[in-house]
């Protein structure tokens, strides 16, 4: 049987989403200067480099900085509204995270004269404070509370194709880095109950807080940004379980979020391009006005809500199994938190249902019925099709990465 590193699944997701977003932006960003496409290509390549760099901390830091620089320039020059102010806020927040990584990696290099993850894992038993520092740095890029305030602003003002990568792909990749960097460099944290409890509490709070704030948004892109915050809570809960089921679930949540949220951002961009507004209160009954985009939006929201047969269903199931197993192993307090996290998952369905009701159904607000652009529809339905394909054949993906996940967990 072929055995794949889960990094390859993450990398494949980045490449597929990036290619489809590129096709979308050919129409959406028509007439934009060549400089935009150069920076966008650099942004995609920097994410690919990041996915390749989990074995070396210096390469990881360089790739981390490159993703920041390219995305900052894209928001600053091609964003909307107060783009320069928003870009500066985004840069400051994420650069603080990069500086924290620099300090942590410098401490490790000064102590052991290597950036190699496998070599460092042999010596870092007593350096768990550095593990916490790296985790907090990655929290900033992952928009984990209380380091999240840059995200709704950046997503609202960024060009839609950038939002379609920044939210579903980039912040999820930073979250995944907690497993690939922190758990590998500091293997003892996998059995550190206080550290795992800390991750669980942060994940649960993100899940609820992001979901609640999403229901209160009137700007469609800000709604999608806060729902991403909630989805990162799911992913962090899977990582916090520190077991096979939770990690597999976390990886599947990443894939599902990348597919569904990229599709939703592209739908939001198409709606804004046609009607000149992102205000949810002005977008009633889109199912009759833009039926193809509306069908795609409903299907994407169902995937985020973990409705079968979409791949999101399997992500949540595995995360929940991982949480229960961790709770049974770690005592009553952890078990109670795990059950609470599962119950709070209802917020995902709540904010998805509210959005479906508000913009796809209800009293008609938009009278114009524009022609739907097929070039913009193709990548959206491509992502939905992939979500269905993986959801219908989950074993095909899981069996290829399961052995490597077990090895990375030290089993």
Q: What is the pLDDT of residues 312-347, one digit of tens each?
A: 899 889 998 998 888 888 877 778 877 887 777 777
Q: Does the structure show a pLDDT above 70 at 411?
A: no
CA distance 103 to 112: 14
CA distance 3 to 106: 34
- Expressed as residue numbers, the domain containing 114 is 6-408
In the block, residue with structure tokens 């007439």: 31
- Rounded to a whole number, what is the distance in angstroms from the first to the last CA of the chain? 19
Q: Is the peptide bond before 309 cis (omega within 30 degrees of 0)?
A: yes
Question: Which phi and psi (to 5°) does residue 87 adopt?
Answer: -60, -40
What is the reported pLDDT for 59? Answer: 92
Tell me whether residue 84 is in a domain. Answer: yes
Four-residue CA torsion sign, 264, 266, 272, 274: negative
CA distance 126 to 94: 28
SS3 325: helix
What is the reported pLDDT for 327? Answer: 84
Q: Does the structure show a pLDDT above 90 at 407?
A: no
CA distance 175 to 164: 17
Tell me whether residue 250 is in a domain. Answer: yes
Chain Cα centroid distance, residue 274: 27
Tell me whether residue 156 is in a domain. Answer: yes
What is the reported pLDDT for 1? Answer: 46
Burial of residue 81 (CB within 10 Å: 0-12, 13-18, 19+) is: exposed
CA distance 390 to 406: 21
- Look at the chain and report how many structural domains it folds into: 1
* Lowest mean pLDDT across 21-35, 144-158, 368-382: 368-382
Tell me whether residue 350 is in a domain. Answer: yes
**Tens digits of residue pLDDT in 163-216:** 888 876 788 888 989 988 999 899 888 888 889 989 999 998 998 898 888 888
DSSP bridge pairs for 99: none
CA geometry: angle 305, 309, 311, nearest 5 deg: 65
- Side-chain-side CA neighbours of 116 within 13 Å: the count stands at 7
CA distance 157 to 37: 18
SS3 144: coil
Cβ pair 222, 192 in contact under 8 A: no
Question: Which phi and psi (to 5°) does residue 56 adopt?
Answer: -140, 120
* Lowest mean pLDDT across 82-91, 149-158, 361-370: 361-370
Tell me whether residue 16 is in a domain. Answer: yes
Tell me whether residue 1 is in a domain. Answer: no
Tell me whether residue 402 is in a domain. Answer: yes
Mean pLDDT within 66-82: 87
């Amino acid at each position: 049987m072929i055995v794949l590193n889960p990094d390859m699944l993450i990398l494949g997701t980045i490449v597929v989403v990036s290619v489809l977003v590129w096709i979308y932006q050919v129409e959406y960003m028509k007439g934009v200067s060549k400089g935009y496409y150069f920076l966008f290509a650099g942004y995609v390549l920097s994410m690919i480099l990041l996915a390749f760099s989990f074995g070396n901390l210096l390469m990881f830091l360089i790739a981390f900085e490159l993703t920041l620089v390219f995305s900052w320039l894209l928001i600053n020059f091609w964003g909307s509204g107060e783009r320069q102010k928003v870009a500066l806020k985004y840069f400051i927040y994420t650069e603080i995270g990069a500086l924290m990584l620099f300090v942590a990696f410098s401490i490790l290099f000064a102590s052991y004269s290597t950036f190699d993850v496998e070599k460092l894992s042999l010596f870092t038993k007593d350096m768990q404070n550095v593990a916490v520092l790296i985790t907090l740095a990655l929290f900033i890029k992952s928009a984990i509370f209380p380091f999240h305030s840059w995200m709704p602003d950046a997503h609202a003002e960024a060009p839609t194709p950038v939002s379609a990568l920044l939210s579903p792909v980039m912040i999820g990749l930073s979250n995944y880095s907690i497993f690939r960097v922190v758990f590998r460099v500091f293997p003892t944290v996998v059995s550190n109950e206080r550290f795992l409890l800390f991750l669980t509490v942060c994940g649960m709070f993100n899940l609820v807080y992001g979901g609640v704030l999403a229901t209160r948004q009137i700007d469609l892109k800000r709604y999608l940004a806060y729902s991403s915050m909630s989805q990162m809570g799911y992913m962090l809960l899977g990582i916090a379980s520190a077991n096979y089921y939770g990690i597999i679930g976390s990886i599947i949540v990443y894939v599902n979020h990348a597919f569904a949220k990229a599709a939703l951002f592209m739908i939001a961009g198409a709606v804004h391009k046609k009607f000149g507004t992102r205000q949810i209160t002005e977008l009633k009954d889109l199912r009759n006005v833009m039926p193809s985009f509306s069908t795609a939006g409903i299907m994407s929201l169902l995937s985020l809500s973990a409705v079968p047969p979409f791949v999101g269903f399997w992500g949540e199931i595995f995360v929940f199994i991982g949480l229960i197993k961790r709770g049974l192993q770690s005592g009553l307090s952890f078990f109670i938190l795990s059950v609470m996290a599962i119950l709070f998952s209802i917020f995902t369905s709540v904010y998805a249902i509210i959005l479906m009701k508000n913009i796809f159904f209800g009293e008609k607000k938009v009278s114009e019925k524009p022609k739907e652009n097929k070039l913009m529809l193709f990548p959206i339905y491509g992502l939905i099709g992939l979500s269905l394909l993986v959801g219908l054949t989950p074993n095909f993906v899981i069996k290829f990465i399961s052995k490597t996940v077990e090895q990375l967990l030290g089993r």
